[in-house]
Amino acid sequence: MMKANIQLHTSSHYRAHLFKTGFQRLGYQPIDDRNHQPDATDVLLIWNRNPSHARIAQRYEEAGATVLVTENGYVGKTKAIARTHHSGAGTWYVGEEDRWKALGIPLFPWRLDGEHLLVLPQRGIGAPDVAMPRHWPNTIVERLRAITRRPIRTRLHPGTDKSGPTLEDDLRNAWAAVVWGSGAGVKAIIAGIPVFHDLVSWIGAPAASCVFDVEDPWIGDRLPMLRRMAWAQWTHAEIESGEAMRRLLEPEWRL
Protein backbone atom coordinates (compact mmCIF):
# COMPACT_ATOMS: atom_id res chain seq x y z
CA MET A 1 0.00 0.00 0.00
CA MET A 2 1.20 3.50 -0.83
CA LYS A 3 2.42 5.33 2.26
CA ALA A 4 2.37 9.04 3.10
CA ASN A 5 5.04 9.82 5.68
CA ILE A 6 3.73 12.96 7.41
CA GLN A 7 6.58 14.64 9.26
CA LEU A 8 4.68 17.54 10.83
CA HIS A 9 4.22 18.61 14.42
CA THR A 10 0.85 17.56 15.81
CA SER A 11 -0.06 21.03 17.14
CA SER A 12 -3.06 22.69 15.48
CA HIS A 13 -0.83 25.24 13.70
CA TYR A 14 0.56 22.59 11.34
CA ARG A 15 -2.81 20.93 10.56
CA ALA A 16 -1.25 17.47 10.38
CA HIS A 17 -4.68 15.88 10.89
CA LEU A 18 -5.98 17.53 7.72
CA PHE A 19 -3.13 16.12 5.66
CA LYS A 20 -3.65 12.69 7.22
CA THR A 21 -7.33 12.68 6.25
CA GLY A 22 -6.57 13.97 2.77
CA PHE A 23 -3.95 11.32 2.06
CA GLN A 24 -6.29 8.60 3.35
CA ARG A 25 -8.92 9.76 0.86
CA LEU A 26 -6.34 9.39 -1.90
CA GLY A 27 -5.62 5.78 -0.89
CA TYR A 28 -2.40 6.38 1.07
CA GLN A 29 -1.60 4.91 4.46
CA PRO A 30 -0.46 7.81 6.69
CA ILE A 31 2.64 7.02 8.76
CA ASP A 32 5.01 8.97 11.01
CA ASP A 33 8.37 7.24 10.67
CA ARG A 34 11.64 9.11 10.10
CA ASN A 35 13.40 5.81 9.38
CA HIS A 36 10.93 4.49 6.81
CA GLN A 37 12.58 3.04 3.70
CA PRO A 38 10.40 4.30 0.82
CA ASP A 39 9.66 2.99 -2.62
CA ALA A 40 8.67 5.06 -5.64
CA THR A 41 4.95 5.05 -4.77
CA ASP A 42 5.42 6.73 -1.39
CA VAL A 43 5.19 10.40 -0.41
CA LEU A 44 7.06 12.40 2.22
CA LEU A 45 5.43 15.56 3.60
CA ILE A 46 7.65 17.97 5.52
CA TRP A 47 7.28 21.49 6.95
CA ASN A 48 9.84 23.57 5.10
CA ARG A 49 13.01 21.80 3.96
CA ASN A 50 15.08 22.49 7.04
CA PRO A 51 18.30 20.59 7.85
CA SER A 52 16.51 18.10 10.12
CA HIS A 53 14.39 16.97 7.16
CA ALA A 54 17.00 17.22 4.41
CA ARG A 55 18.45 13.73 4.84
CA ILE A 56 14.99 12.11 4.89
CA ALA A 57 13.97 14.06 1.80
CA GLN A 58 17.11 12.96 -0.03
CA ARG A 59 16.39 9.32 0.84
CA TYR A 60 12.90 9.62 -0.64
CA GLU A 61 14.11 11.34 -3.79
CA GLU A 62 16.81 8.71 -4.34
CA ALA A 63 14.06 6.07 -4.16
CA GLY A 64 12.03 7.91 -6.79
CA ALA A 65 9.39 8.90 -4.24
CA THR A 66 7.74 12.31 -4.05
CA VAL A 67 8.68 14.97 -1.50
CA LEU A 68 6.06 17.60 -0.70
CA VAL A 69 7.01 20.70 1.26
CA THR A 70 4.41 22.75 3.09
CA GLU A 71 4.55 25.97 5.10
CA ASN A 72 2.30 28.87 6.02
CA GLY A 73 0.39 30.15 3.02
CA TYR A 74 1.33 33.51 1.57
CA VAL A 75 -2.27 34.66 1.22
CA GLY A 76 -5.50 34.10 3.13
CA LYS A 77 -6.07 31.12 5.41
CA THR A 78 -4.06 28.65 3.36
CA LYS A 79 -1.05 26.39 3.43
CA ALA A 80 1.59 26.66 0.71
CA ILE A 81 2.49 23.29 -0.81
CA ALA A 82 5.02 22.44 -3.54
CA ARG A 83 7.24 19.59 -4.62
CA THR A 84 10.86 19.43 -3.36
CA HIS A 85 11.18 22.99 -2.02
CA HIS A 86 9.26 26.06 -0.80
CA SER A 87 9.15 29.84 -1.43
CA GLY A 88 8.94 29.29 -5.19
CA ALA A 89 12.03 27.06 -5.52
CA GLY A 90 9.81 23.99 -5.82
CA THR A 91 7.34 23.00 -8.53
CA TRP A 92 3.57 22.67 -8.49
CA TYR A 93 0.59 22.04 -10.72
CA VAL A 94 -0.84 25.11 -12.46
CA GLY A 95 -4.36 24.68 -13.80
CA GLU A 96 -6.46 26.69 -16.23
CA GLU A 97 -8.89 28.06 -13.64
CA ASP A 98 -8.27 31.46 -12.05
CA ARG A 99 -7.64 30.44 -8.44
CA TRP A 100 -6.42 33.93 -7.59
CA LYS A 101 -9.83 35.41 -8.40
CA ALA A 102 -11.53 32.62 -6.44
CA LEU A 103 -9.49 33.49 -3.34
CA GLY A 104 -11.26 36.87 -3.28
CA ILE A 105 -8.27 38.86 -2.02
CA PRO A 106 -8.35 42.62 -2.79
CA LEU A 107 -5.49 43.85 -4.98
CA PHE A 108 -4.58 47.45 -4.28
CA PRO A 109 -3.14 49.87 -6.87
CA TRP A 110 0.59 50.38 -6.91
CA ARG A 111 1.64 53.12 -4.51
CA LEU A 112 3.42 55.99 -6.27
CA ASP A 113 4.59 57.80 -3.17
CA GLY A 114 5.93 56.91 0.27
CA GLU A 115 9.09 57.59 2.18
CA HIS A 116 10.93 54.70 3.83
CA LEU A 117 12.30 51.33 2.75
CA LEU A 118 10.99 48.47 4.86
CA VAL A 119 13.35 45.51 5.28
CA LEU A 120 11.45 42.27 5.96
CA PRO A 121 13.81 39.51 7.19
CA GLN A 122 12.88 35.86 7.54
CA ARG A 123 14.00 33.44 10.24
CA GLY A 124 16.61 31.80 8.01
CA ILE A 125 14.90 28.40 8.06
CA GLY A 126 15.14 25.97 5.16
CA ALA A 127 17.56 24.46 2.67
CA PRO A 128 20.84 26.35 2.16
CA ASP A 129 19.94 27.40 -1.39
CA VAL A 130 16.59 28.86 -0.28
CA ALA A 131 16.95 29.98 3.35
CA MET A 132 17.84 33.58 4.12
CA PRO A 133 21.51 33.85 5.15
CA ARG A 134 21.79 34.79 8.80
CA HIS A 135 23.85 37.87 8.00
CA TRP A 136 21.41 39.18 5.37
CA PRO A 137 19.44 41.63 7.58
CA ASN A 138 22.61 43.51 8.45
CA THR A 139 24.30 43.38 5.06
CA ILE A 140 21.19 44.47 3.16
CA VAL A 141 20.88 47.57 5.34
CA GLU A 142 24.52 48.38 4.57
CA ARG A 143 23.89 47.92 0.84
CA LEU A 144 20.84 50.16 0.95
CA ARG A 145 22.60 52.92 2.86
CA ALA A 146 25.26 52.96 0.16
CA ILE A 147 22.74 53.67 -2.60
CA THR A 148 19.94 55.74 -1.02
CA ARG A 149 19.28 58.44 1.53
CA ARG A 150 15.75 57.20 2.17
CA PRO A 151 14.94 56.15 5.74
CA ILE A 152 15.41 52.40 6.28
CA ARG A 153 13.33 50.44 8.77
CA THR A 154 13.62 46.77 9.67
CA ARG A 155 10.61 44.75 10.75
CA LEU A 156 11.44 41.68 12.82
CA HIS A 157 9.82 38.43 11.68
CA PRO A 158 6.69 37.79 13.80
CA GLY A 159 8.05 34.34 14.62
CA THR A 160 10.91 36.15 16.32
CA ASP A 161 9.03 39.10 17.84
CA LYS A 162 5.24 39.32 18.09
CA SER A 163 5.22 42.49 20.19
CA GLY A 164 5.72 44.98 17.38
CA PRO A 165 3.27 46.73 15.04
CA THR A 166 1.40 44.85 12.33
CA LEU A 167 2.78 44.45 8.83
CA GLU A 168 0.07 46.81 7.61
CA ASP A 169 1.27 49.46 10.07
CA ASP A 170 4.89 49.08 8.99
CA LEU A 171 3.95 49.28 5.31
CA ARG A 172 2.09 52.52 5.85
CA ASN A 173 3.92 55.28 3.94
CA ALA A 174 6.58 52.82 2.71
CA TRP A 175 8.17 53.57 -0.65
CA ALA A 176 9.19 49.92 -1.11
CA ALA A 177 9.75 46.68 0.77
CA VAL A 178 13.01 44.74 0.67
CA VAL A 179 13.05 40.96 1.18
CA TRP A 180 15.28 37.96 0.76
CA GLY A 181 12.12 36.11 -0.34
CA SER A 182 9.09 35.81 1.93
CA GLY A 183 5.33 35.74 2.31
CA ALA A 184 5.54 39.24 3.75
CA GLY A 185 6.92 40.38 0.41
CA VAL A 186 3.93 38.85 -1.38
CA LYS A 187 1.61 40.70 1.00
CA ALA A 188 3.45 43.93 0.20
CA ILE A 189 2.96 43.36 -3.54
CA ILE A 190 -0.76 42.77 -2.99
CA ALA A 191 -0.94 45.97 -0.92
CA GLY A 192 0.60 47.88 -3.83
CA ILE A 193 4.04 48.33 -2.27
CA PRO A 194 6.90 47.68 -4.74
CA VAL A 195 9.35 45.00 -3.64
CA PHE A 196 13.07 44.35 -4.11
CA HIS A 197 14.31 40.80 -3.47
CA ASP A 198 17.55 38.79 -3.30
CA LEU A 199 16.30 35.17 -3.64
CA VAL A 200 16.28 34.58 -7.40
CA SER A 201 13.79 31.70 -7.22
CA TRP A 202 11.36 33.57 -4.91
CA ILE A 203 7.72 32.96 -5.77
CA GLY A 204 7.04 36.73 -5.96
CA ALA A 205 10.02 37.47 -8.21
CA PRO A 206 8.00 37.98 -11.44
CA ALA A 207 6.23 40.92 -9.75
CA ALA A 208 9.28 42.45 -8.07
CA SER A 209 12.85 43.47 -8.88
CA CYS A 210 16.20 41.95 -8.01
CA VAL A 211 17.96 45.06 -9.34
CA PHE A 212 18.22 47.48 -6.45
CA ASP A 213 17.52 50.70 -8.35
CA VAL A 214 15.60 52.08 -5.38
CA GLU A 215 14.08 55.04 -7.20
CA ASP A 216 12.82 52.89 -10.08
CA PRO A 217 10.94 49.91 -8.56
CA TRP A 218 9.05 47.37 -10.67
CA ILE A 219 5.33 48.29 -10.90
CA GLY A 220 4.09 46.13 -13.76
CA ASP A 221 1.29 43.56 -14.11
CA ARG A 222 1.15 41.44 -10.93
CA LEU A 223 -1.66 39.14 -12.00
CA PRO A 224 0.38 36.47 -13.86
CA MET A 225 2.51 35.92 -10.74
CA LEU A 226 -0.49 35.92 -8.40
CA ARG A 227 -2.47 33.52 -10.59
CA ARG A 228 0.44 31.07 -10.74
CA MET A 229 1.17 31.45 -7.02
CA ALA A 230 -2.47 30.76 -6.15
CA TRP A 231 -2.03 27.18 -7.41
CA ALA A 232 0.50 26.63 -4.62
CA GLN A 233 -1.90 27.93 -1.93
CA TRP A 234 -4.49 25.47 -0.63
CA THR A 235 -7.30 25.92 1.85
CA HIS A 236 -7.71 23.62 4.83
CA ALA A 237 -10.83 22.14 3.22
CA GLU A 238 -8.91 21.33 0.01
CA ILE A 239 -6.17 19.65 2.04
CA GLU A 240 -8.66 17.58 4.05
CA SER A 241 -10.48 16.49 0.88
CA GLY A 242 -7.20 15.38 -0.70
CA GLU A 243 -7.62 17.74 -3.66
CA ALA A 244 -4.47 19.72 -2.85
CA MET A 245 -2.23 16.66 -2.78
CA ARG A 246 -3.96 15.06 -5.76
CA ARG A 247 -3.03 18.04 -7.91
CA LEU A 248 0.59 17.88 -6.76
CA LEU A 249 0.84 14.13 -7.36
CA GLU A 250 -0.58 14.11 -10.88
CA PRO A 251 2.02 12.75 -13.32
CA GLU A 252 1.64 15.51 -15.92
CA TRP A 253 1.37 19.21 -15.15
CA ARG A 254 1.30 22.49 -16.97
CA LEU A 255 4.05 24.18 -14.96
Residues 190 and 213 both lie in one domain: yes
Q: How far is CA 208 from CA 8, 92, 201, 202, 216, in A?
A: 32, 21, 12, 10, 11
Q: Indicate if the pLDDT at residue 131 is higher than 50.
A: yes
Q: Tell me, what's the pLDDT at 255?
A: 45
In a domain, 188, yes or no: yes
Residues 212 and 195 both lie in one domain: yes
Q: Domain containing 219: what range?
A: 116-228
- If you average pLDDT over residues 46-75, what whole number do you get? 92
In a domain, 101, yes or no: no
- If you average pLDDT over residues 198-218, what whole number do you get? 95
Residues 243 and 205 both lie in one domain: no
pLDDT tens track for 62-121: 999 999 999 999 998 999 999 998 878 899 999 999 999 999 999 999 998 999 999 999
Residue 46's pLDDT band (boundaries 50, 70, 90)? very high
d(CA 102, CA 204): 19
d(CA 109, CA 169): 18
pLDDT tens track for 164-206: 788 899 999 999 999 999 899 999 999 999 999 999 999 999 9
Residues 129 and 210 both lie in one domain: yes
Q: Return the ∠ at Cα 176 (arms to 173 and 177), rounded to 5°.
A: 110
Q: Indicate if the pLDDT at residue 15 is higher than 60.
A: yes
DSSP string of 30-41, one letter each residue = EE--TT----TT
Q: Is 15 left (phi over 0), alpha (psi -120 to 50) or beta?
A: left
Q: Tell me, what's the pLDDT at 52?
A: 82
Q: Indicate if the pLDDT at residue 232 is higher than 90.
A: yes
Residues 219 and 244 both lie in one domain: no
Report the domain count for the chain.
Answer: 2
In a domain, 102, yes or no: no
**Model confidence, pTM:** 0.91
- If you average pLDDT over residues 204-225, what whole number do you get? 96
Q: Indicate if the pLDDT at residue 11 is higher than 90.
A: no
